[in-house]
Amino acid sequence: MITAKILSADQRILGFEISGHAESGPYGHDLVCAAVSAVSFGAANALMEVAGCEPEIVQGGEGGYLKVILTGKDKEEEKALTLLEGLLISLRTIEQDYSQYITIIN
């Protein structure tokens, strides 16, 4: 199962931590894993390219782990907060249809 932790303080999303594997299909054909990966890596890239942030990023060597946290002044960047809220909405949409493969912790 994939666990998506939303990291926040003072009711502001500051980052996310995604771990695990959905195992909803054979390796290379796991649609839930692909969806979560696309949404999470897309958010990380958008934080850098669109919001101009330099988040702290930690990845697992074998996949199945991604942690992205805003630091310093980036915590106040409105574009970054909007992008992270969009990530949460996307993850919730995936969870609605595939709750047996993903859980979100706020």
Tokens 């996310």 correspond to what residue?
A: 16
Residue identified by tokens 């047996």 is 100
Helix (H, G, I), strand (E, B) or coil at 18: strand
Catalytic annotation present for 29: no
In the set 33, 39, 43, 88, the catalytic residue is 33
Report the alpha-carbon distance of residue 69 to residue 51 in Å, rounded: 14
How would you write 87-103 as a 3-class SS string? Answer: HHHHHHHHHHHCCCCEE
Q: Is the Cα torsion angle 89, 93, 94, 99 positive or negative in sign?
A: positive
33: annotated active-site residue: yes
Catalytic residue among 5, 7, 8, 21: 21
Which residues are marked as active site?
A: 21, 33
